[in-house]
Amino acid sequence: MDCLFCKIINGEVPSYKVYEDDIVYAFLDINPFGTGHTLIIPKKHYLNIEDIDNDTYFHIVEITKKLALEYKDKLHMDGYSICQNNGCAQEIKHFHMHLIPKYENEKKLSIEEVYHILKENR
């Protein structure tokens, strides 16, 4: 399979992992829409929301919420957007959820700086 996200999960492509369990893998987006933009993906390949089973989908939602609460504490975000695209709206054809932190005064931190902040005290 030539899926970028599957390659990230398998360690063939490096990533800034912020969370992992048996079902999901979460990492910082290398082309972020904002400081701390994170992708939460299932380890099993699902094409889109029509393809994913409910248990996996709801687990991803649970982890997205967990990360949002952590980011409020560590990144001091003032809000956030959660987005999931399907079909022609998907750049990568592997189900993924976007967690995009929002700030009243936009923070301009590098991915490395965000990664370091999130990894502290873990």
Domain boundaries, the chain: 4-119
Q: Which residues are catalytic?
A: 96
pLDDT < 50: residue spans in the chain: none
pTM: 0.93
Q: What is the pLDDT of residue 88?
A: 93
Give 30's contacts (C-beta < 8 A, 6+ positions apart): 15, 16, 111
Q: What is the pLDDT of residue 122?
A: 63
Q: CA 55 to CA 73: how far, in whole Å?
A: 28
Evaluate whether the domain defined by 4-119 bears CATH number 3.30.428.10: yes
Q: What is the pLDDT of residue 93?
A: 95
